[in-house]
Amino acid sequence: MRIAVTIFLVAAWAFSPAMGFAKENSLAELVLEAVKNNADIQATREMVRGLADASEYAGALPNPKLGVGIANLPVDSLDLSQEAMTQKQVSITQRFPWLGKRGLAAESRLLAARGTEARLNEQVLSLQQQVAEAYYDLWFVVESLRLNQEFVALVTQATQASATRYGAGREMQRAVLTGELELSRLADEKLALEGRRRKLETRINRLLQRENYGSVTPDTRLDLPEPRTVADWVAQAEEGNPRLDLLQSAVTLSRVSLSLAEKEAMPDVDVKLAYGQRDDDPMGNSRADFVSLSASLPLPVWKAKREDRLIASKKAGERAALLNYQGYKRELPHLIGGLSTDMETALERHIFYRDDLVPRAKQLSEALLSRYEVGGTSYTDMIEAVITAMKAELTARKYLRDALATQAKLMELSGGVVPGVASFMMSGK
């Protein structure tokens, strides 16, 4: 009876939460580390700052031009005082863009900065989703390893009990051989799981861009995702989806670019102020200096091939940007609806397994364990019952993993972030 109690306790332990001593890493802290370390996100943030500075540059007047020269110098003598019209000139030329051009140019840079902010937010949410997916996969592998290890202990205990109690009888000899075969299968499964775990830890370290490799231990217990209606997800996405914001910024930018192209057909004016200094004449009489003021502007001789073509190009760009925005806006609710259905289905199946199938499978395995001790059932039937119970437990965890991974994708689409990450995002609203 002592053997049956031992086997029963091992089996019960197999279905209880693992009690590890390694420091567990929460998803939030890993995502926060990834966002802090990510060089691409840092580079995009610098681009935002650069575009903001470029806005002031685009809105400022161009620098004036300083000119120096000599006018009307006789080539026969190169004498500065020979001719009355010879002058040493200093001039200042300032270009004045047509009214509204500078404001539109500055606005276009600001809109480009806003679009880059949206791209930065998209990078943050994409990185969060990738870390979450790898994290939940790792959690599932760790759970699989735990069940594998506990099943190895159970099979070993049962095989030793069979060999000790019944000696080399034909039926029990087959049980021992079956147990040893099962142990070999479990050893092979463990090798595959360990490889999968190392691969996922490496992936997480890569996503976190760590300088040195560090082990990752996921939380033992994960909270169930909170069910939400598709309408709630869509409403949040309309406010927080960065790709939607990026495409909307592209529409606004294309319209400003079109207005700027239309302004390009209007001429910029160059105003020149020159001072001409004259030497005294050969008789020693002083000559008055000259001041000149002039304005010049380009003639639209090639307007049909230049400005008109530019305007046509910008109009096409505006139509393309608007179509991209409208298409994604129509597509987004369907994307969210499909993911929401997947999450709800996975969550329902997890709860069904957890509350119905797993308890029933455990009851059957415990009953067959008790019967096996008194010879009321075969070793094969007992092991199959325990395997069924453990597979049901593992399937329940798989559906929880699927539900949580799908929730992470929904958060990416809707702009939801884990605690602490919001401070690394930028608001272009």
**Which one, of 394, 407, 402, 405, lies nearest residue 346 by Cα?**
402
Which pTM was predicted?
Answer: 0.82
> What is the rounded distance in angstroms from the CA atom of residue 378 to the CA atom of residue 388?
16
Buried b (16+ CB within 10 A) or exposed e, 217-235: ebeeebeebeeeebeebbe
Distance CA 368, CA 377 (A): 7
Contact 428, 127 (CB under 8 A): no
Question: Residue 9 contacts by C-beta under 8 Å, 6 or more apart in sequence?
Answer: none
Place of tokens 């880059």: 116
Q: What is the DSSP letter of 278?
A: -
Query: Quick one: tokens of 152?
Result: 């190895």
Q: At 337, which amino acid appears?
A: G
Q: Domain boundaries in the chain?
A: 2-61+97-265+300-424
Provide Rg for the chain, Cα atoms. Answer: 38
**Residue carrying structure tokens 């480009």:** 112
Residue 137 sits at the vertex; the CA angle it makes with 133 and 143, to the nearest 5 degrees, is 150
Q: Which CATH superfamily is domain 2-61+97-265+300-424 in?
A: Outer membrane efflux proteins (OEP) (1.20.1600.10)
Q: Tell me the pLDDT of the chain (429 aa) as tens digits.
A: 334 434 444 444 444 444 444 678 999 999 999 999 999 999 999 999 888 888 888 888 999 999 999 988 888 888 888 888 888 899 999 999 999 999 999 999 999 999 999 999 999 999 999 999 999 999 999 999 998 898 888 778 777 766 665 554 544 566 667 777 888 888 999 999 999 999 999 999 999 999 999 999 999 889 999 889 999 999 999 999 999 999 999 999 999 999 999 988 888 999 999 999 888 878 878 888 889 999 999 888 888 888 889 999 999 999 999 999 999 999 999 999 999 999 999 999 999 999 999 999 989 888 887 777 666 777 778 788 888 888 899 999 999 999 999 999 999 999 999 988 888 887 755
